[in-house]
């Protein structure tokens, strides 16, 4: 995959795909955030094993603008994998 987290198409018109790679097993959460740091959407994906995954994401409730996708993989024992991806929504 090359990157830990990507969202496409970018810009998105409401429907997007998210692909991500986990370095190790852990509790996974994906947040969509405004550039001001406000959480607009939160998905708790639960316990997942290491590897590459993808999912469809509905962004239609978001206004046009630039956002951040934040992937957090809490692997336990103080190990946390974080990845960020900047993307745009256009209406």
pLDDT digits (tens, 9 = 90+) for 19-40: 999 999 999 999 999 999 999 9
Q: Quick one: pLDDT at residue 3?
A: 78
Confidence of residue 2 (pLDDT cuts 50, 70, 90): low
Contact 48, 54 (CB under 8 A): no
Contact 60, 16 (CB under 8 A): no
Provide the CB-side half-sphere exposure for 13 (13 A, CA).
1
CA angle 42/65/58 to nearest 5° reads: 40
Query: What is the edge-to-edge ordering of all strands in the sheet holding 15-22?
Result: 5-8, 15-22, 51-58
CA angle 58/64/69 to nearest 5° reads: 55
Rounded CA-CA distance 50/41 in Å is 24
| Domain architecture of the chain: domains with CATH | 5-89 (2.60.40.4070)
């Amino acid at each position: 995959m090359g990157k830990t987290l990507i969202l496409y198409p970018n810009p998105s018109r409401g429907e997007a795909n998210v692909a991500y790679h986990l370095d190790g097993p852990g509790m996974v959460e994906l947040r969509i955030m405004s550039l001001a740091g406000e959480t607009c959407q939160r998905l708790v994906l639960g316990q997942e094993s290491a590897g590459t995954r993808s999912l469809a994401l509905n962004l239609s409730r978001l206004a046009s603008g630039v956002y951040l996708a934040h992937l957090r993989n809490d692997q336990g024992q103080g190990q946390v994998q974080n990845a960020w991806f900047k993307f745009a929504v256009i209406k």
